Structure 1
Amino acid sequence: MPISISHDIPEDTFQEWWQRQGEWVEEPNVRRGGESGVQRLLERGSVLYAKRQIGHVYRSLLHPFGRLTILRERAALLALDKLGVPVPRLVYCGIDNHPEQGWRGVLVTEALEGFEHVEQWYAKGGREACGEAKHALLMQQIGATLARMNLGRWQHGCLYAKHVFVRMGGEHPQVALLDLEKSRQRLSRSRAARHDLRQLRRHSPWSDEDWQQLLMGYARVYPGGLKGL
């Protein structure tokens, strides 16, 4: 029987979500012994994103026989939301064990209205348009957002600049995080902090001056999180 995980939708809707089709925004990639891709869906005027997986599993000490990665992503979405870290709202998550295809899963989230990933924002001239003072506030907000995540012992696990989404329309910059299927809770805050900050530093377009602004925002929320970097 299908297993559905949602606070809003009855438990018998896995097949309904699985059968919905939309535009591929991430073509299915074959990896981890299975495949995973993302489609954009239009539902009652709202834009949703559906991650669809077949046999796309990770293994750990707790799950030596494998577990669909969307279940790890679901846990991260719910946990980070409670920590005050902006992430896409979870609409539905369900899995089933198909007799021919094996484990299948679908995870549906709402689009982040008005957000775009920071590299896209830079490419469109966002920095020049907002000015250096507001850009410094953005960097500090990115740092503060990451600190709230790491303070809860959560590690993003695949933190590139393209996974940082920004919205600059208001007086204060807003930041959200995406692509959490490699996220996990570490035994210590410092391990989560070291992993994410070092990884982001390697995979970001920011200068040393920009990075110092990010660390300033980080330290305001999690003062001890920068030790050992």
Structure 2
Amino acid sequence: MTDYVASDDRALLKRHGLDDFEALWALQLDAVDEPNTGRGGWSSVFRLELEGKGYYLKRQSDYLTRTLHRPFGEPTFAREFRNIVRYQKLHIPALQAVFYGERKQAGQHRAVLMTRALDDWSDLDSQLAQWAQVGAAARDGMLIACGQLARTLHAAGQVHGCFYPKHIFLRQRREGWDAQLIDLEKTRPLLFGMRDRLRDLEPLLRRAPVWGEHDVRTLLAAYLAQPAGSTLVDTWLQRLMQRRHHKEAR
């Protein structure tokens, strides 16, 4: 496939000699964490800054996933990149790709995925760690943003598959809060209506035990575009709590 380079970043990458696969593969950087190993290969994440802009550069070798459509395997980044492009076309707020390319070199299947860093955003996980100290208006603003994000996602016919606090990023603005998603690798089409939607939302609630009923109702009201005390919100709250209790009891 032809390498992808975002038009907004092409000139900047070119000024630094980083507008092709080989240059990005050879770039010497410190990894932000320990590489993932398995699947017969490795995958690692690096951070770099260019002219005051932050980026994450991900590289992997023989770190493949196999599906019915690709029985011989493809880099896991390939699926993530396709989903980034899909989200953009569907107007689902999510991280943005700067570069994607893959090569078969030296007997290895290599891939590079570069995305813009979300330096002006904070993940919901961090907000939950200080939830009791956050003002009521800010809490409601974040919950509404998360509910609207999930509504946009599902209305576009997509299931994220890992709708967790660490994958939801938030940013305050004058009128409220914005939210967007990262880690799109497990995204798939929404095929089974309410069941799929509940399966996507429930892990978020399970990983946010600091949320009380008011919080969950606020999120569901935004998700369903209904008043927090409506019968529809009651129904969804009951179904989500049942699923959560079932998961926690396993």
Q: What TM bracket, shorter-length normalisation?
A: 0.7 to 0.9
Shift of 1:183: 1.8
Superposed CA offset, 1:150-193 (max 9, x none): 22222212222111111125331111111112222243554542
**Residue 120 in structure 1 maps to residue 126 in structure 2:** yes
CA distance in 2, matches of 1:75, 1:149: 16
Q: Which of residues 193, 199, 212 is equivalent to 1:207?
A: 212
CA distance in 2, matches of 1:6, 1:188: 35
CA distance in 1, matches of 2:54, 2:148: 28
Identity of aligned residues (%): 32
CA distance in 1, matches of 2:28, 2:39: 23
Q: Which of residues 60, 64, 67 is equivalent to 1:60?
A: 67
Q: Is the Cα contact below 8 Å between 1:150 and 1:192 reproduced in 2?
A: no
Closer, same or farther in 2 for the Cα pair 1:17/1:196, shift >3 Å? same
Closer, same or farther in 2 for the Cα pair 1:33/1:182, shift >3 Å? farther
Unaligned runs of 5+ in 2: 227-231, 241-250
SS at match of 2:33: strand
**Residue 219 in structure 1 maps to residue 224 in structure 2:** yes
CA distance in 2, matches of 1:213, 1:127: 16
Normalising by structure 1, report the TM-score: 0.85
Q: Which of residues 148, 170, 184 is equivalent to 2:188?
A: 184
Q: Is the Cα contact below 8 Å between 2:6 and 2:97 reproduced in 1?
A: no
**Residue 76 in structure 1 maps to residue 75 in structure 2:** no
Closer, same or farther in 2 for the Cα pair 1:60/1:195, shift >3 Å? farther
Instruction: Give 1 or 2 for the bigger CA radius of gyration.
Output: 2
Whose relative contact order is higher, 1 or 2, with alpha carbons under 8 Å and at least 6 apart?
Answer: 1
Closer, same or farther in 2 for the Cα pair 1:192/1:70, shift >3 Å? farther
Q: Which of residues 32, 42, 49 is equivalent to 1:25?
A: 32
Superposed CA offset, 1:76-131 (max 9, x none): 2122223332212210011101223x1111110111231011121343x46634x1
SS at match of 2:111: strand
CA distance in 1, matches of 2:213, 2:55: 37
Shift of 1:50: 1.0
Q: Is the Cα contact below 8 Å between 1:154 and 1:189 reproduced in 2?
A: no
Closer, same or farther in 2 for the Cα pair 1:187/1:65, shift >3 Å? farther
Q: Is the Cα contact below 8 Å between 2:122 and 2:171 reproduced in 1?
A: yes
Q: Is the Cα contact below 8 Å between 2:128 and 2:208 reproduced in 1?
A: no
Amino acid at match of 1:178: I
SS at match of 1:38: strand
Shift of 1:51: 1.4
CA distance in 1, matches of 2:138, 2:145: 10
CA distance in 2, matches of 1:135, 1:108: 32
Shift of 1:70: 0.8
Unaligned runs of 5+ in 1: none
Closer, same or farther in 2 for the Cα pair 1:78/1:72, shift >3 Å? same
- Aligned CA RMSD, in angstroms, stands at 2.6
User: Who is 2:244 aligned against?
Assistant: none
Shift of 1:207: 2.7
Normalising by structure 2, report the TM-score: 0.78
Aligned length: 222
